[in-house]
Structure 1
Amino acid sequence: MAGYKQKLFNRLKPFIGVVFLQFGYAGMDVLSKAALNKGMSNYVFVVYRHVFAFVVMAPFAVVLEKKERPKMTFSIFMKIMVLSLLEPVIDQNLYFLGMKYTTATFAVSMYNVLPAITFLMAWILRLEKVKLKSARSQAKVVGTLATVAGAMVMTLIKGPVLDLFGTNGSNSHNQQNGGVNLQHAIKGSIMITIGCFSCACFMILQAITIEAYPAELSLTAWICLLGTAEGGIVALIMERKNLSAWSLQWDTKLLAAVYSVVCSGMAYYIQGAVMKDRGPVFVTTFNPLCMVIVAVMGSFFLAEVMYLGRAIGAIVIILGLYLVIWGKSNDYESSSTDTKEPVLPAKQTIDESNGKDEHSNYQVVTINNLGAGNIERDEQV
């Protein structure tokens, strides 16, 4: 019984990890929007976010991975440099700028296109196989198009206000004329979409890097450290005439910076660990959960307005997203069946070439295992 529970827990660990990530991201989105509303610079916020994360994660990396940490090479270091540029600098700054123009709910809803973008980039890079005659491949393509369409609906269509929790009426400053809101929505959506592309590149490159540098805590510490340096350069340039932007007091700004340890520290570590088993697409498939959490929290704590058009767009995004997931899961389930295709040519090769004894015996054992399931031990000699 103990063995069964351990096996069940090991199977559930990736799901527990990504669900925890989405709750963490939801809290970060709400606190970030509150800090930005109080005038905090998004450039400075990104720097503080990774400073706190590095201070917390670095000691764990030094102690726990002292014997496991591989040697740092120039190639690995350059990959980490690019990682720290893609996510801590480009993605987060564009995401927070987009959030300034819109709302926390809108920003996290737009971010639901991330799994589709990740899938599309994997397809272009030939990391994802797509056969247009296959039902599951068609689901991937249709789902990708649906997420993009849903994002456009959220951006361009507003509709009536949905007062789901009875708290939106107090948010009068967001209920401006349609032209201004539309302009802000377009600017914000463009920034968030570019951030999604940057984050998708980060996910794929992190999955590649972690194979050569399988030390998640150390990799997280390096990303936070280099992200602090690169983000600091950007912040110094953008806020060179506003030194007061660096000041922190005992308010929401400080709370958001401290809480960011969850997203800029633990998040990099957890998603890196999950990627080892499930890949980058799996990590991004739970984003809709974050949208639901932020929508509820944003209505209660930020009094954000939820429009019908945005709700419809979000539903379309979720449906498209899970079409992509369905196609991916079927591919994963059928992968063992697909590997059986080269069995017959392999057997023919064994019959035709008797000189390669070790390779031939290995193939015979593999075929017998797949077919009858019983072999005699003297066949392996």
Structure 2
Amino acid sequence: MSDQISIRPLSAMFNKAKPYFLMVCLQFGLAGTYIISMATLIHGMNRYVLIVYRNAIAALVLAPFALLLERRRPKMTFPIFLQIMTLGFLEPILDQGFAYLGMKFTSASFTSAIMNAVPSVTFVVAVILRLEHLKIKEVRGQAKIIGTILSLSGALLMTLYKGPVIDLIWSRKASHQGSTGDSSDKHWIPGTLLILVGCVAWSCFYVLQSTTIKKYPAAISLSSLICLAGAIQSSAIALVVEHRPSGWAVGWDSRLFAPLYTGIVSSGITYYVQGLVMKTRGPVFVTAFNPLCMIIVAALGSAILGEQIHLGSIIGGIIIAIGLYSVVWGKSKDYTAASTPAKADDIQELPISAKNCTDGSKLVIATINSDKQDGK
């Protein structure tokens, strides 16, 4: 009897700590995506070939789960098919393609910091398309506006101001041969603009996804189909830009490890863990851990890739993180308001986050009130 009494508190503590532990581990896994992808691009792998392999593996990883867990899927119609193809173009091709190219011109840590602006950009796109009603007089509306301005200001600061190099203890002896810091100085601004284009594409992906998943409410199947569509479309581009057979060859090196890691970890495991945590803690809790990935990438990029960390990147990253939390706080107040009784038709879904990492299979969806619910 005493053993049961002593086990119960431990079980309760484990259940409380489990979401935190899973999200911290997930951020380490997502950070590895940036580092491994950057290392592969430095070694000469074409970014579109990497996109093809990554999304093909992601589709293969998700397909068995979709077949087992979602045996009753909605009917595939032509409009849904077009939306899936558009989603496959927005995220795997535009987002990943521009983000990878911008990463080559800047650094992995810089890219991960800029990607924290995705929730703010998504908020702007949603307001423009009138998918989200903004009440400026309310505190939550002001928090969203301030957070968006801070996030975009942080990205602008990182673009225009680099500042002195910050020498970290573990990076003093690191080799800078694999670093893109010196070779990409003249491409710093274009690289940032490319990453921002990827952010906009990712945000548009989330907005379109929020409407598609209501018409095709099979999340895993939809994710697998998006990755498949991205793999097919990126194959057509990759065959044009990389027609040499050697460019498609993989061996027991980063050319094989990068697609496997990004496809399995960034798609399969990430999707499962995020869905598991969101069931109990919601998407705001998941989003709040995004800046941790930025810190991990900065540390690993400096130690492994020999990347130079500039003062401007640190200040800008902190400003973006503050802006992210401001937007997240404002969205959390939306959930509180949405918890009041309302008709199912009056609720509209819109994704708020991510990643931290560019991946078409992530369905990080938050519930917000529509204009109809607000009485407009």
Q: Please give the range of the TM-score, normalised by the shorter of the 2 chains.
A: 0.7 to 0.9
User: Does residue 99 of the first structure (1) align with residue 111 of the second (2)?
Assistant: no
Percent identity, aligned pairs only, is 48
C-alpha contact 1:165 1:300 (8 A) present in aligned 2: no
TM (norm. structure 2) is: 0.78
Q: What is aligned with 1:160?
A: 164
User: Does residue 216 of the first structure (1) align with residue 212 of the second (2)?
Assistant: no
SS at match of 2:169: coil
C-alpha separation in 2, matches of 1:249 and 1:32: 16
C-alpha contact 1:24 1:263 (8 A) present in aligned 2: yes
Alignment CA distance shift 1:265-1:337 (3 Å): closer
C-alpha separation in 2, matches of 1:14 and 1:210: 25
Structure 1 residue 204 displacement after superposition: 2.1
Alignment CA distance shift 1:280-1:211 (3 Å): farther
Q: What is aligned with 1:32?
A: 37
C-alpha contact 1:118 1:200 (8 A) present in aligned 2: yes
- Structure 2 residue runs without a partner (length 5+): 1-6, 343-376
Kindly report the root-mean-square deviation, in angstroms, between the aligned alpha carbons of the 2 structures: 3.3
Structure 1 residue 207 displacement after superposition: 2.5
User: Does residue 198 of the first structure (1) align with residue 201 of the second (2)?
Assistant: yes
CA distances 1:86-115 after superposition (whole Å, capped 9, x unpaired) = 111111011100111111001111111111
Counterpart code for 1:247: A
Alignment CA distance shift 1:23-1:245 (3 Å): same
> Between Structure 1 and Structure 2, how many residues are aligned?
336
Counterpart code for 1:136: R
Q: What is aligned with 1:356?
A: none
C-alpha separation in 1, matches of 2:329 and 2:341: 17
TM (norm. structure 1) is: 0.77
Alignment of 1:209-288 (within 5 A): 209-240=212-243, 242-260=244-262, 261-267=264-270, 286-288=289-291
Alignment CA distance shift 1:285-1:197 (3 Å): farther
Between stretches 253-262 and 38-47, larger displacement belongs to 253-262
Counterpart code for 1:41: N
C-alpha contact 2:181 2:308 (8 A) present in aligned 1: no
Alignment of 1:114-193 (within 5 A): 114-173=118-177, 181-193=184-196
User: Does residue 47 of the first structure (1) align with residue 52 of the second (2)?
Assistant: yes
- Structure 1 residue runs without a partner (length 5+): 340-381
Structure 1 residue 331 displacement after superposition: 2.9
C-alpha contact 2:164 2:310 (8 A) present in aligned 1: yes
Structure 1 residue 34 displacement after superposition: 0.8
- More helix by percentage: 1
Alignment CA distance shift 1:12-1:126 (3 Å): farther
Structure 1 residue 130 displacement after superposition: 1.4
Q: What is aligned with 1:316?
A: 319
C-alpha separation in 2, matches of 1:37 and 1:135: 46
C-alpha separation in 2, matches of 1:233 and 1:26: 29
CA distances 1:251-288 after superposition (whole Å, capped 9, x unpaired) = 11211111112224444566678889999887655431
Structure 1 residue 137 displacement after superposition: 1.3
